[in-house]
Amino acid sequence: MAARVAYIADSDSGGEKNVKQLRDGGAKQEQIAYLGSKGAGLCVEDFVAKDVYVAAVNHELAQRWRGVQIKATEVPSRGRSNALKNWCRKKRDLDGKVVNVYRVNVAQRILDRREDGIVAPGQRRRLQQLDAKLTSIFEKATHLLGATTES
């Protein structure tokens, strides 16, 4: 590992699929950091304060789907991405169309509120651990690159 590259993977089944693709493409295991611990079942949406996430999803729903809103009680603290997909599959708008929410649009709505504080209070420690892991990956790569250029 000489390049200063790190990958952040969800610690759910989708994240595992992405890690397999990364590894098949040549990424080294030590370049990969998981959201939470490997197998914890977390996705990036789980790190967002629930009220911010629900508001962002409902904003997106209001743009495209008449009469459809998600309740905070329908949003789990873990596995939100898959939970939202499953929720959408079961929902129809007033015209009977299947509901779909684009994650990138929800992410933008979340970022629109970043000044309000968007991190779920219970996830701050995990984000600090992720930061430490990424710092370690970059420091190791920097050390190896320095050793390579000195030779």
- pTM, full prediction: 0.82
pLDDT of 39 reads 83
d(CA 82, CA 132): 27
Domain ranges of the chain: 7-43+121-150, 49-116
Contacts of 104 (CB under 8 A, 6+ apart): none
pLDDT of 38 reads 82
For residue 95 the two structure tokens come to: 């015209």
pLDDT at 151 over 70: no
pLDDT tens digit sequence for 92-117 = 888 888 899 999 999 999 999 998 88
For residue 83 the two structure tokens come to: 């939970």
For residue 106 the two structure tokens come to: 């929800």
pLDDT at 83 over 50: yes
Longest Cα–Cα distance of the chain, Å, equals 68
pLDDT of 2 reads 52
Mean pLDDT of 2-26: 90
pLDDT tens digit sequence for 138-149 = 998 887 766 555
pLDDT tens digit sequence for 41-76 = 899 999 999 999 999 999 999 998 888 999 999 999
